Amino acid sequence: MSIFIIAEIGINHNGDLNIAKKLIKIAKETGCDAIKFQKRTIDKVYTKEFLDSPRESPWGNTQRNQKEGLEFGLIEYQEIDRYCIESGIDWFASAWDLESQYFLRQFNCKYNKIASAMLLYQPLLKEVACEGRHTFISTGMSELKDIEQAVAIFRAADCPFELMHCVSTYPMEDEDANLNRIKTLRETFQCDVGYSGHEAGLSVSYAAAALGITSLERHITLDRAMYGSDQAASLEPNGLRMLVGAVRKIEQAMGDGAIAMMPKEVSISKKLRAHYLI
């Protein structure tokens, strides 16, 4: 089975639908399988005190200005849905509150996503699980018991899912990757396991691909120098192109593990062993 590659736009569109479309086009052209966004109901996710606090951004001088500037609404998502259908690529989003999950239902996406930050919010997990769509569950910032509770919810609802190993630092240092956790998750929960990476480069994602992951998610951007907290841990177009190409080669290179002479080796064997095999 081919690794399902997810290009996470998240909020790297900076509230600009044209930037979102450019990123969707790049993801499609580079061979990604799906696009992912993030959806928040600002007044549900953040307190009034926080939203009223100061923060300088391209949209104003408060946290509310910044958060609202980054958030797409119905009109934008309708156009994203139309554009992705036209482009022939799936999209979905991680909801950060119940209202956002209800909002996303109208688009009938094939997939759902539980962000690491939302793993402990059981009401949201139950709402997502009841939809029965294949769900990617990120496991950053989590203890074993947290993951056990999430898995129990999805299994009780008979909702298909896979876990995603994730380290929630932005960008993640390579020495913090703990890729062996992929094997631990797979053995512990007897399920498919993917990798959601926040590192700056590509080597850790390549290593994850060689460990038998079923999905790979990386943030993408037009330019890492753009405004935004996720940009530094994102891949620019050339990096995304390199990632997808290399992952597909790694998949081919892994093989089936069988110990036997390959047909392509037969003639070479006869030549190189001719002096002692009669």
- Render pLDDT for 235-263 as a digit per residue (tens, 0 to 9): 999 999 999 999 999 999 999 999 999 99
- Fold of the 4-272 domain: TIM Barrel (3.20.20)
| Per-residue pLDDT at 153 | 98
* Cβ–Cβ < 8 Å for 214, 162: yes
56 secondary structure, DSSP code: E
Which residue ranges make up each domain of the chain? 4-272
121 in the Ramachandran plot: left (φ > 0), alpha (ψ -120 to 50) or beta?
Answer: beta
Q: Does the N-terminal peptide bond of residue 160 adopt cis geometry, omega within 30 degrees of 0?
A: no
- Render pLDDT for 44-94 as a digit per residue (tens, 0 to 9): 999 999 999 999 999 999 999 999 999 999 999 999 999 999 999 999 999
Tokens (6 digits) for 2: 């081919």
For residue 6, what are the β-bridge partners? 34, 217
Tell me, yes or no, if the pTM score tops 0.85: yes
The β-bridge relationship of strands 54-57 and 60-62 is: antiparallel
In degrees and rounded to multiples of 5, residue 137 shows phi and psi of -115, 110
Angle between helix 237-254 and 203-210 (nearest 10): 30
Q: Give which of 91, 160, 94 is closest to 131, Cα–Cα.
A: 160
